[in-house]
Amino acid sequence: MSRSAHPAGPRHADVLPEGHYTAPPTDLNALDAKVWSRTVARNADGAVTVGGIEVARLAEEFGTPAYILDESDFRARCRAWAHAFGPDADVFYAGKAFLSRAVVRWLKEEGLNLDVCSGGELTCALDAGMPAERIAFHGNNKTVAEIERAVTVGVGRIVLDSFQEIARVAHVAQRLGKRQRVQIRVTVGVEAHTHEFIATAHEDQKFGIALAGGEAAEAVRRALALDGLELIGIHSHIGSQIFDMAGFEVSARRVVGLLAAVRDEHGVELPEIDLGGGLGIAYTSDDDPREPHEIAKALGDIVTRECEAAGLATPRISVEPGRAIVGPSAFTLYEVGTIKPLEGLRTYVSVDGGMSDNIRTALYDAEYSVALVSRASDAEPMLVRVVGKHCESGDIVVRDAFLPSDLAPGDLIAVPATGAYCRSMASNYNHALRPPVVAVRDGQARVIVRRETEEDLLRLDVG
């Protein structure tokens, strides 16, 4: 839509500039259950509550910006995944999405396993009491120290990512007098329909060992020959924020193809396959994610069918959802500061956080939605861009959204579906203090990761 043809300003649906949006929603007070965690609701006064607590109370007690994590929602998603896959499969929560000691305890209680990809995540997991055998250790460049630690504590599996790592882990295990359970991560050559930076199954990237050209078969050969390793299966992770099951189906088919080739060559049936994580969630009302039971059925069916065709016993399947569990469970609560209407364009709404607490918009062009949560409003919708307080123009939290035109400094707004890869990728850019994570459940709120303080910043700066 050309702006010059519609010079009247940004507040009406027929004069909107170009952007990633459709029409303004009919009811700005409505909270789409697709993007908000389960206990989020608007009370009779129009204020939004989570876990039975008004967000304004949370802002008062814990400050803004803050990540508000709905514990019941998180636990319900864990249970849904565990139940969907059942006792003959394993669900590993991908800790990179968001990890804290409280979350590890919830995972443990809900019967999930944990995927870690660094020594730091491993420390967090062990410190919070996750049994080592329920931990999978990932990474394309694990240090020898990390490998030693993982083998020593007895992690349930190390996912091998290169030929060098096969030798390295075998060597460490042998030196420590252990036999380490491992999987080999393969790249299956699938083009996942997602942002380039979060697609991982095409061949021209850093992860895994290619199936094509026989490299993965060679990796299996080497792993089977080494005493320090017990090869339990093959791993594939095709990327993240994926809605289309077709990529997983191709991946499953190719991984089963490798299992059949291994059986033919070595007479060994590897007992497990891991199909990774990457299941998409709704960031806006336009997204339509699959439910865990649909995913479990689709993956289970394809693996069973392919194995039957190849004459293999069906292996134990594991999956590693991160975003699909924690993503929808949290929102970021901000206070509105400066509001700058740009005539004929849009209104810039500045909040007290920004790219330091959510880098995803800048990094992946991610889309988010936003709502006024401290009160309801019947004012007309205005097209807004929610921006942060950092010193760069790419500091955008929500590129295009609608908020009521009576929005004022001091109002609270919230961006839903920020549970995954927001706190875990947060930075101190401009010496910003990383926000706390506040867990809310049944009318109780408690800090599970506290807000950084200026003393925290100075403590690292040794002068």
DSSP for 388-454 reads -SSSSTT-EEEEEEEEETT--TT-EEEEES-SSSSSTT---GGGPPPPPEEEEETTEEEEEEPPP-H
Q: What is the DSSP letter of 98?
A: -
Q: Which residue's entry shows tokens 């995944």?
A: 81
What is the edge-to-edge ordering of all strands in the sheet holding 41-42? 41-42, 48-50, 53-54
Gyration radius (Cα) of the chain, Å: 24
Q: Which is nearer to ligand LLP, 201 or 383 (CB)?
A: 201
**Three-class SS state of 63:** coil
Give me the catalytic one of 78, 117, 124, 391: 391
- CA-based angle 51:53:56, to the nearest 5? 135
Nearest-approach distance from CB 235 to ligand LLP, in angstroms: 7
Beta-carbon count within 10 A of 367 CB? 18
Nearest-approach distance from CB 459 to ligand LLP, in angstroms: 27
Q: Is 240 in the site for ligand LLP (CB under 6 A)?
A: yes
Q: Which is nearer to ligand LLP, 73 or 411 (CB)?
A: 73
Nearest-approach distance from CB 99 to ligand LLP, in angstroms: 12
Residue whose C-alpha is closest to residue 29's, from 16, 18, 20, 40? 40
Binding mask 321-360 for ligand LLP (x = CB under 6 A): xxxx-----------------------------------x
Instruction: Please tell me the distance from the alpha carbon of residue 47 to that of residue 178, in angstroms, as a whole number.
Output: 57
Nearest-approach distance from CB 360 to ligand LLP, in angstroms: 5
Q: Which of residues 72-101 bind ligand LLP (CB under 6 A)?
A: 94, 96-97
- Residues 6+ away with beta carbon under 8 Å from 259: 234, 269, 270, 273, 307, 310, 312, 315
Nearest-approach distance from CB 237 to ligand LLP, in angstroms: 4
Q: Is 237 in the site for ligand LLP (CB under 6 A)?
A: yes
- 40, 112, 167, 402, 406 from 413: Cα distances, Å: 14, 33, 52, 12, 13
Q: Is 198 in the site for ligand LLP (CB under 6 A)?
A: yes
Q: Which is nearer to ligand LLP, 41 or 425 (CB)?
A: 425
Tell me which stretch binds ligand LLP (CB under 6 A): 45-53, 62-70, 299-307, 319-327: 319-327
Nearest-approach distance from CB 198 to ligand LLP, in angstroms: 5
Nearest-approach distance from CB 227 to ligand LLP, in angstroms: 27
Q: Which is nearer to ligand LLP, 6 or 195 (CB)?
A: 195
Instruction: Please tell me the distance from the alpha carbon of residue 138 to that of residue 160, in angstroms, as a whole number.
Output: 7
Please indicate whether residue 422 is annotated as part of the active site.
no
Q: Which of residues 422-441 bind ligand LLP (CB under 6 A)?
A: 425
Q: Which is nearer to ligand LLP, 91 or 372 (CB)?
A: 91
Q: Which is nearer to ligand LLP, 35 or 279 (CB)?
A: 279
Work out the end-to-end distance of the chain between its first and last CA atoms, rounded to an integer number of angstroms.
54
Nearest-approach distance from CB 256 to ligand LLP, in angstroms: 19
- Residues 6+ away with beta carbon under 8 Å from 2: none
Rounded to 5 degrees, φ, ψ at 318 are: -125, 155
Cis before 65? omega within 30? yes
Q: Is 238 in the site for ligand LLP (CB under 6 A)?
A: no
Number of residues that bind ligand LLP (CB under 6 A): 23
Binding mask 99-138 for ligand LLP (x = CB under 6 A): ----------------x----------------------x
Binding mask 264-283 for ligand LLP (x = CB under 6 A): ------------xxxx----
Q: Which is nearer to ligand LLP, 62 or 248 (CB)?
A: 248
DSSP for 309-321 reads HHT-PPPEEEE--
Q: Which is nearer to ligand LLP, 233 or 278 (CB)?
A: 278
Contact positions vs ligand LLP (CB under 6 A): 94, 96-97, 115, 138, 198, 237, 240-241, 276-279, 320-324, 360, 364, 420-421, 425
Q: Which residues are catalytic?
A: 391
